[in-house]
Amino acid sequence: MRIVSADTGGALLDENYNPIGLIATVAVLVERPYKTAKLSIAKYSNPFKYDLSGRMALKDETFLALKLAKKVKPDVIHLDSTLGGIEIRKLDDSTIDALRISDRGKAIWHELSKDLQPLAKRFWEETGIEILAIGKESVAVRIAEIYAGIYSVKWGIEYAMKEGFVRIGLPRYMTVEISKGKILGKSLDPKEGGLYGEVGMEDKEFEWEIYPNPIARTFMVFEAKS
Amino acid sequence: MRIVSADTGGALLDENYNPIGLIATVAVLVERPYKTAKLSIAKYSNPFKYDLSGRMALKDETFLALKLAKKVKPDVIHLDSTLGGIEIRKLDDSTIDALRISDRGKAIWHELSKDLQPLAKRFWEETGIEILAIGKESVAVRIAEIYAGIYSVKWGIEYAMKEGFVRIGLPRYMTVEISKGKILGKSLDPKEGGLYGEVGMEDKEFEWEIYPNPIARTFMVFEAKS
Amino acid sequence: MRIVSADTGGALLDENYNPIGLIATVAVLVERPYKTAKLSIAKYSNPFKYDLSGRMALKDETFLALKLAKKVKPDVIHLDSTLGGIEIRKLDDSTIDALRISDRGKAIWHELSKDLQPLAKRFWEETGIEILAIGKESVAVRIAEIYAGIYSVKWGIEYAMKEGFVRIGLPRYMTVEISKGKILGKSLDPKEGGLYGEVGMEDKEFEWEIYPNPIARTFMVFEAKS
């Protein structure tokens, strides 16, 4: 099974470890044995202008996943919304009302589906590829999340080279290591069976450190200074 | 404390990683230090004829646990139903209605208790051994689950020798290793403190692989081909 | 960020692994990189006289945290109650009623806040240090929990030297190792990023063992005999 999925993650943090805004949306192509990505593409946000209360992430993720899917023609697309794997093209208002999710979740999906449902329907008609709301059940979504952390670190290093310092909150229970010419990201949850990712970068001179976020257990903080 | 417990697990999977049916019910005897089984017995189902919507598993598990318990005379029997450790012999209709579980759970237990309550009562009167609905709190139930994965793999290897190929979904966060003459199963959750199991088998010529189930995060897939 | 936090844990267990009473309340000072404590102080309870149904733990923890905070002047105090990080000094009756917690939780906090709210208000007025109900989100609270396990083991070894034997249930997914002159406690959850603690003790002659609690999955049992 060849899966394209997408996720958004990595947050610029202030000195009290509170998020200022999210950094990277990433789409990945995941193939057997489903432990890392074969391909990845990233789109950066401006974390200083990010609306953390908004619902932009899932739309951005869908657009980026479609961009990658058009190129690599996967069997299926996995989005980071845990609706039991339902096809997005089937999410009309009565179907959303029948979902076993919170009222708030329904309100969000009534809004989101206005754009995403016709988009998914058209994409499916043209290509036969389904877009599923599978969320945390999907290993591919988790791999996209790990890559979002890696690309956020890549962005952070560039930022620190210019501004002197950066503090980034990584996605849940993952860590990164930096060695000559690449950033390696790894799940800290052995139950996931060894998920990881790797992205290349130019060699630079900087110091970095990774440690637990004191106010968000199981989340790590990455800091770099030039 | 000497505990007998039982569990059902290991699923034959189709090419989209959806379960066709469950494979093995296993009863184990667990003794201090509670990391593996001292004894195990297995009963195989026909996964092609398995009713996944049914409630057969818990009955099968109870019967198999009793079979082992009659032989080894444990201090207690643990079943895989998380009702806070209540004694099955006490599960009459009014007690079930008073449980803090879902209405669906109550309906299932009203049905199950018709058979299991008198059985547990008689067994307790004859032997003094209680049968507890302790479920996921019990390390012994988890060890039974790991053994269900191991026996499913054993079944799968036999199947692949005859049919050429098998794909099995293991119980939650466990993996297996195969080396000369035995199948070793291990929990992937270090929080559990190192639970594992081991079952012997005849030496055979086959290839095998284990990797994350892409649509069921923290579950591994075992494949073998002859 | 310099954080003082406190927690209570470690339970004396009977021969069926049921808790008799809790053993140690511990306050810790946690500083960057937030993986262990810089300082720790402990207050022992008498587990044989412990009211497990009571709500004493949080009060004891607050008093001990304040004792340490007066000495080390942290930036903030973290308590083990998961109310989203709200300041204790703001917990008046109408604020408690507006919390999104269970009715039982509200009743407990209506009672607790009578003492703790004025105490927190006064401490904040005098020092500017906030006391937050952050609970399981806080790495510092988890480190306090690990130290509560370590101090319980220290208490247990003393007890076993006098009484011959002790059986202690450690806080969730942690283990201990004892080597010359010290007790090392470690989180068993790698998602937490390597949390640990260490407490010195006099050299003694005894045997010890650690193994999974059979009726409380992911909890370990420590036993010592002289």
Q: Is A134 on the interface with B (CB under 8 A)?
A: yes
The alpha carbons of chain C give a radius of gyration, in whole angstroms, of 18
Closest CA to B139 of C209, C186, C191, C219: C219
Nearest to C212 among B35, B85, B136 (CB): B35
Taking an 8 Å cut-off on Cβ atoms, the answer to whether A137 and B16 are in contact is: no
Q: Give me the residue label for tokens 């309550």.
A: B117
Task: Compare CB distances from C34 to A173, A175, A214 and report the shortest one's residue.
Answer: A214
Per-residue pLDDT tens digits for C93-107: 999 999 999 998 899
Chain A residues lying within 8 Å of B189, measured CB to CB: 190-191
Q: Do B214 and A85 touch (CB under 8 A)?
A: no
The pLDDT profile of chain B, 226 residues, written as one tens digit per residue, is 999 999 999 999 999 999 999 999 999 999 999 999 999 999 999 999 988 876 779 999 999 999 999 999 999 999 999 999 999 999 999 999 999 999 988 999 999 999 999 999 999 999 999 999 999 999 999 999 999 999 999 999 999 999 999 999 999 999 999 998 899 999 999 999 999 999 999 988 999 999 999 999 999 999 999 9
- The residue ranking higher by pLDDT, A104 or C216, is C216
Alpha-carbon torsion A105, A106, A107, A112, what sign? positive
Pairing status of strand A182-187 against strand A196-200: antiparallel
Provide the number of CB pairs (under 8 Å) joining chain A to chain C: 52
CA-nearest of B19, B1, B2, B23 to B147 is B23
Q: What is the dihedral of CA B127, B128, B130, B131, to 10 degrees?
A: 10
Of B189, B190, B212, the CB nearest to A34: B212
* Encoded amino acid at A17, one letter: Y
Contact criterion met (CB below 8 Å) for B192 and B142: yes
Q: Do C16 and B1 touch (CB under 8 A)?
A: yes
Q: Are A45 and A23 in contact (CB under 8 A)?
A: yes
What is the set of domains in chain A, with CATH numbers? 3-137 (3.30.420.440), 145-225 (2.60.40)
Nearest CA in chain A to B214: A139
Contact: C212, B190; criterion CB under 8 Å: no
What is the rounded CA–CA span in Å between residue A87 and residue A66? Answer: 15
Taking an 8 Å cut-off on Cβ atoms, the answer to whether B139 and C209 are in contact is no
Sheet bearing B196-200, strands edge to edge: B174-179, B182-187, B196-200
What are the pLDDT digits (tens) for A112-131?
999 999 999 999 999 999 99
Main-chain phi, psi angles of C110, to 5 degrees: -60, -40
| Average pLDDT taken over every residue of chain B | 96
**Residue C100 has which token pair?**
């999104």
Q: What is the DSSP string of B110-152?
A: HHHHHHHHHHHHHHHHHH--EEEE-GGG-HHHHHHHHHHHHHH
Task: Tell me the residue type at B195.
Answer: L
